[in-house]
Amino acid sequence: MSNTIVQINAKKDYLESLARTKTPFFALSELIWNAFDADADKVSISIIVNGLDTIERICVADNGVGIPHEDVKNAFGNLGGSWKNGAKLTPLKSRHIHGKTGKGRFRAFALGSVVRWTTRYRQNENIKEYSINGNIDNLDSFSIGAERITLSSDPGTEVIISNISQNFRSLLEDDAILRLAQEFALYLQMYQSLELIYRDQRVEPKDAIKRSDALGSVDIQTREGENESIRLEVIEWNSDQGRTLFFCNESGIPLQKIDFQIHTPGFDNYSAYLKSDYLAKLNSENLLALSDGPLHEELTKIMKASKERLRDHFRARAAERTAALVSNWKERQIYPYKGEAHDLVERAERQVFDIVAVNVNEYLPDFERTDDKNKRLTLRLLQQAIKQNPGSLNYIFKEILDLPTERQNEFADLLQKTTLSSIIAASKVICDRLEFLAGLEKLLFDEESRRSLKERPQLHRILANETWVFGEEFHLSADDESLSSVLNKHLECLGRERDDNLKVTTHDGSVGIVDLMLSRRIPQPKAEQREHLIVELKRPRVKIDSTAVGQVMKYVLAVVGDERFRDIDTRWTFWAVSNDISPEVRALSNQSGRPEGLYHESPDKKVYFWVKTWAQIIESCQARLKLFQGELNYIADRETGLEYLRKAYNKYIPAHLKNDITP
């Protein structure tokens, strides 16, 4: 009997999008969920590697009920018409269902271009078997083989993926089984008789779990005015798994997951699980699909509330861990403090000591293994360092941190030249600048921020306090003032008296308002020689076009044409800054023989007009900070950048980015 072709009524580009995933584990997980949804008690994953150490085939086998031949056209020919769509539990064993949309089978093509399902099902007293074949080149159709009676005694389905699209090394790494444990932890704990076998090794969440805590509910109010409670659970892992957030249905079955950007010092390996049928509703409306765009309003509320709950939880965990360790040290009489703290100063000193000592204990294995006598000595040295002065930190580096001799000498020399507080302050400046740049990128380039960011009351006010982005050599002289005021500032810079009657107008008689004037004195034999930078800011969605250029050129001509300033030994540089430049202005500012971005240069080389994009300015700042960033080993992301803006400029940022912090 010839094969039957099942056609899928869906556009090719949509099917191709289903066949793409960020990680091979996502595709593999979909196949495992399909097996458990088919009432399988055991699912086995095999990875077949050839002699060249590359993956040749991936096999997922289960002992589920299989797919009856009369149901295959509906199962493989429809999208969104899965039998699971109206069901909450599996038909035989009443387990909670993961999939509902019938998309899971297409995820297999993210791993390889050829996929074959061999399925067996029970019909009366017989076990019948047939195959379904698919190819990535023809995603809109599957070939269904004829069924036959088989001698096998058990139903089940085996999925074989071949012609592997790339060598997915992560599937062969030692932590692969732990990544599956994250995904299926709640489900396997709920149904403990289930077996998930990965490369002959059973996935055992309990072996990977260090600790599990239920954190109650995160409550939000929807746009419709409804109150929703979303349960939050967190699992800490024994190994390096990073921080992951899972959006789950009420039963704890994951729907979407993200790498979680949240600062929880001392706790880096955990998964947080948000559980609610409201999340399932958002997922069905495709509102859990996290992209580079703005989050759904309700999802933003959920994320914010979850982060606060997790921060509170891990602060309590840190205090709990500290208290337990300190209590143990007191019992063994190696804790350097006796009795209760005498005053607030000593109480604060003890708190600092406890934090440092606990970190020493956690991150230095040799300290934990040493005997009580050496522990007692080390803790007393640490107490001395905190209580007295930074000079005694040498004892810490020698006795505790075990820095190489070369690094000890470098630090000792550095402390001869500056103070420890100055070193900390300098490091903070670099970190703050990296975070500001990350936050500035979010303000300027995220779609919602670009639409809502205002020029003068917001962007202007923020940059007036961060003028270093325009050059380390400049300091702010004037902020959002008329051209006359700007030139009076120039007189003050030269040590001359202000002229309150000074009026400078553009050639059409109007009074120009400049955004920022930044000034520096150029080291020259003539002490009065100066350079001024005039920055004209445009809101991100406004291009620098002929109108914007014309506005700045009015300022340029006003300065050049005023006889009171024409012969003064000063260089004037004008910038027009926005996210983008119109094609005609870009062409005029990128001419042969001129630096890129130079729109106008006066014959006497005293007046320059540049057009610049924020991308160029931020890239230049990042290049200046790159060396320090590498030495500090610190990377600022959009989340930390946004937190910096909220703390420093909460009243100036768009409303959707604000928090409750009062500046």
Residue 591 vs residue 527, higher pLDDT: 591
For residue 479, the model assigns a pLDDT of 59
Band (pLDDT 50/70/90 cuts) for residue 662 is very low
Distances (CA, A) of 161 to 113, 135, 155, 346: 8, 10, 20, 65
Tokens of 651: 């009243």
CA 562 to chain centre: 52
pLDDT of residue 390 exceeding 50: no
Q: Go through the domains of the chain in sequence order and give each one's CATH number.
A: 4-172 (3.30.565.10), 209-292 (no CATH), 332-417 (no CATH), 446-621 (3.40.1350.10)
Residue 174 vs residue 49, higher pLDDT: 49
Band (pLDDT 50/70/90 cuts) for residue 86 is low
For residue 252, the model assigns a pLDDT of 83
What one-character-per-residue DSSP string does 462-518 give? HHTT-GGGG-TT-EEEEEEEEHHHHHHHHHHHTTPPP-TT-----TTS---EEEEEE
pLDDT of residue 70 exceeding 70: yes
CA distance 84 to 102: 8
pLDDT of residue 552 exceeding 60: yes
Residue 288 vs residue 83, higher pLDDT: 288
Band (pLDDT 50/70/90 cuts) for residue 431 is confident
| Three-class SS state of 26 | helix
For residue 494, the model assigns a pLDDT of 46
The rounded percent of the chain whose pLDDT value lies above 90 is 19
Mean pLDDT of 175-195: 88
For residue 243, the model assigns a pLDDT of 86
pLDDT of residue 117 exceeding 90: yes
CA distance 595 to 572: 17
Residue 290 vs residue 141, higher pLDDT: 141
For residue 55, the model assigns a pLDDT of 93
pLDDT of residue 109 exceeding 60: yes
Write out pLDDT tens, residues 151-169: 877 899 999 999 998 888 8
Residue 220 exposed, middle or buried by CB count within 10 Å (0-12, 13-18, 19+): buried
Residue 340 vs residue 505, higher pLDDT: 340
CA distance 310 to 304: 10
CA distance 259 to 290: 11
Mean pLDDT of 620-648: 80
The rounded percent of the chain whose pLDDT value lies above 70 is 79
pLDDT of residue 4 exceeding 70: yes
Q: How many Cα atoms occupy the beta-carbon half-sphere of 347 within 13 Å?
A: 5
Mean pLDDT of 250-273: 82
Which of 13-17, 71-75, 528-532, 610-614 has maximum average pLDDT?
610-614
For residue 502, the model assigns a pLDDT of 46
Mean pLDDT of 414-441: 75
Band (pLDDT 50/70/90 cuts) for residue 80 is low
For residue 39, the model assigns a pLDDT of 93
Least confident of 168-172, 242-246, 273-277: 242-246
Write out pLDDT tens, residues 318-333: 888 888 888 888 888 8
Mean pLDDT of 498-504: 49
Count CB-CB contacts under 10 A for residue 344.
8
